[in-house]
Amino acid sequence: MGAQLQTASENGPGSTADSPRPLLIAEGVRKTYVFRRTLMDRVRRSETNLLAAVDDVSFTLTSGETLGIAGESGSGKTTIVRCLIRLVEPDSGSITFDGIDVRAASGSALRDIRRRMQMVFQDPHASLNPRLKVGACIIEAGRVHKRPGASNRDVFVSQLLELVNLPSSVAEKYPRELSGGQRQRVAIARALAVGPDVLIADEAVSALDVSVQAQLLNLFEDLKRELGLTMIFVAHQLSVIAQTADRVAIMFLGRIIELGPVSVVFRDPQHPYTRALLAAHPQPNPDQRLKIEFQGTSVGLDVKRGCQYRLRCPYAEEVCEQETPPLAPAGPRQVVACIPRPFARVGQDASEADVVR
């Protein structure tokens, strides 16, 4: 791999592996959408309908780790990662990336933030320009961000294609000539062309067949190790998170309801919703039958106070109606937003929860 593809070492202090300082800090991020008011709403002077797509979300990202963000559709997992690079403008809260205030950044500072945090989207067919050959598409990304080495087009492109295990002949093809898995590799190569520190994969393997999906997951793992990348993996498939992430944040209707190491959260989930999600995963082993630990659907936007999940929760108590549960320590580096805590581990309490979030 040529020097121009080195990423993590060139971008300042936050990106060294042994730095205790988190690379990215999100603090109380909120994004609310306003439903369009119909004429009848205006006549009736009814209240404006608000939808908090992301509601008071805080987390940190340490250099070199992979954070998984899981949740059902409408949980806000895509909105929060889009807020991180301001593809969506958050309403409030703060986002700090390597010491830089992301929300205040503009011009070249914002451009540099976006260079250092690159996104790979679900559908490479929509995110690649259909009229650009693969090579042109990769070199364009490199030129826009003035990457060293981008002047030597052929070497630059073939190095990047090699990095994602594609033959250099792919450079002369159009996206439509490639399979879904190959297109997604091109999208990754284009993201890597600008030398990012953080790769944000938003449902990047969801549209792929299972055999190709496994190839891509292995590729992400290799890239992370070879380039020292930090990753955010957004997925609704919990098994994908289980295989890729170090820590996981579970989201429900705009809030993080549980966060912790994947090995802890998936083996011993503390929030009833996390348990329901894990139980609903269809196991390939026919003898491990599905258990349904939930009722209703996640549609229910009129919960103004209290726990958003209480209407579906079989363990809901009166207190769940009164108070919005805060994220509280629940185990080793694990936090959970649930007041009754029906699955609390006996003999383990907050004293063990050293670093939270």
Contact set with another protein (CB under 8 A) = 72-73, 179-182, 209-215, 217-218, 221, 236-240, 242-243, 262-263, 266-267, 276-287, 289-290, 292, 294, 297-299
What CA–CA distance (Å, rounded) separates 90 from 57?
11
- Three-class DSSP labels, 154-180: HHHHHHHHHHCCCCHHHHHCCHHHCCH
Q: Select 94 or 237, whichever has its Cβ closest to another protein.
A: 237
What CA–CA distance (Å, rounded) separates 85 from 95?
9
- Three-class DSSP labels, 257-300: EEEEEHHHHCCCCCCHHHHHHHHHCCCCCCCCCCCCCCCCCCCC
CB of 142 to another protein, least distance (A): 26
CB of 221 to another protein, least distance (A): 7
Residues contacting 23, CB < 8 A, separation 6+: 14, 15, 61, 62, 63, 97, 98, 197, 198, 230
Q: Select 114 or 255, whichever has its Cβ closest to another protein.
A: 255
CB of 284 to another protein, least distance (A): 5
Q: Select 72 or 91, whichever has its Cβ closest to another protein.
A: 72
Asked if 204 and 121 touch (Cβ cutoff 8 Å), the reply is yes
CB of 153 to another protein, least distance (A): 26
* Residues constituting the chain: 357
CB of 247 to another protein, least distance (A): 11
Q: Select 181 or 306, whichever has its Cβ closest to another protein.
A: 181
Q: Select 40 or 210, whichever has its Cβ closest to another protein.
A: 210
CB of 11 to another protein, least distance (A): 25
Q: Select 282 or 347, whichever has its Cβ closest to another protein.
A: 282
Q: Select 218 or 322, whichever has its Cβ closest to another protein.
A: 218
CB of 290 to another protein, least distance (A): 5
Q: Select 262 or 327, whichever has its Cβ closest to another protein.
A: 262
CB of 176 to another protein, least distance (A): 14
Quick one: tokens of 289?
């039958």
Closest CA to 329 of 258, 252, 277: 258
Q: Select 57 or 70, whichever has its Cβ closest to another protein.
A: 70
Positions of E strands within the chain: 24-34, 50-61, 66-70, 92-97, 100-101, 117-120, 198-202, 230-235, 247-252, 255-261, 328-331, 334-336
Asked if 65 and 262 touch (Cβ cutoff 8 Å), the reply is no
What CA–CA distance (Å, rounded) separates 115 from 94?
20
Asked if 228 and 64 touch (Cβ cutoff 8 Å), the reply is yes
What CA–CA distance (Å, rounded) separates 122 from 109?
27
> Helix and strand tally (H, E) in the chain?
12, 12
